[in-house]
Structure 1
Amino acid sequence: MDAVRRLSSGKGVVIFSKSTCCMCYTVKVLFNELGVNPMVHELDQSPEGKEIEKALIRLGCSTAVPAVFIGGTLIGSTNEVMSLHLEGSLVPLLKPYQTTLM
């Protein structure tokens, strides 16, 4: 859990991902299209990846990846991110972290 807290607070938008996960890819593309350059931690390429996955599940993630944190707060996985986006609540959350104007 300490590794998740440390890594998720390192930047405004953090995504825990796996390089081979299509849903992770989708979330990363969405954030890039919204003008956000998230910090991405590829768990399949990290020595502590398995432990981080277990910690994410304990934190309440329905699936370990993608796990999205905004401002140090766990937002959730693909379903939660897409739901926020469809209801118009995601962009306001991302506004402080956007690097390009929309």
Structure 2
Amino acid sequence: MDRVAKLASQKAVVIFSKSSCCMCHAIKRLFYEQGVSPAIYELDEDSKGKEIERALMRLGCNPSVPAVFIGGEFIGSANTVMTRHLNGSLRKLLIDAGALWL
């Protein structure tokens, strides 16, 4: 859990992902298209990926990826991020976290 918290706080937007996950790809694309450059941790390419994945599951991520943190806070997985994007609240979170500028 400490490793997840440390990694999640190192940049305004952090995404825990797997390189073969289509939903992870869609979420990363969403952030890039918003003009955000997130830190991305590909768990299937990390030697501690399984450990991080278990920690994400304990946080409530099911499935474990994509897991999105904004401003060091766990936002949720693909469904939550897409819902926030569609209702307009994602942009405010990104601005408040310093990931986007007006």
Runs of 4+ in 1 over 2 A off after TM superposition: none
State the match for 1:81 in structure 2: 81
Query: Counterparts of 2:100 and 2:20 in 1: how far apart (Å)?
Result: 26
Query: Is the contact between residue 17 and residue 43 of structure 1 (CA under 8 Å) also seen in structure 2?
Result: yes
SS, match of residue 69 in structure 2: strand
SS, match of residue 85 in structure 2: helix
Query: Counterparts of 1:62 and 1:84 in 2: how far apart (Å)?
Result: 18
1:47 aligns with 2:47: yes
Distance apart, 1:79 and its partner CA: 0.2
State the match for 1:28 in structure 2: 28
Query: Is the contact between residue 37 and residue 98 of structure 1 (CA under 8 Å) also seen in structure 2?
Result: no
Percent of residue pairs bearing the same amino acid type: 60
Distance apart, 1:65 and its partner CA: 0.4
Q: For 2:45, give the aligned amino acid.
A: Q
Q: For 1:38, give the aligned amino acid.
A: P
1:97 aligns with 2:99: yes
State the match for 2:5 in structure 1: 5
Question: For structure 2, which runs of at least 5 residues remain unmatched after alignment?
Answer: none
Distance apart, 1:6 and its partner CA: 0.9
SS, match of residue 97 in structure 1: coil
Query: Is the contact between residue 11 and residue 38 of structure 1 (CA under 8 Å) also seen in structure 2?
Result: yes
Q: For 1:88, give the aligned amino acid.
A: G
State the match for 1:57 in structure 2: 57
Distance apart, 1:98 and its partner CA: 2.1
Query: Counterparts of 1:41 and 1:98 in 2: how far apart (Å)?
Result: 20
State the match for 2:68 in structure 1: 68
Distance apart, 1:63 and its partner CA: 1.3
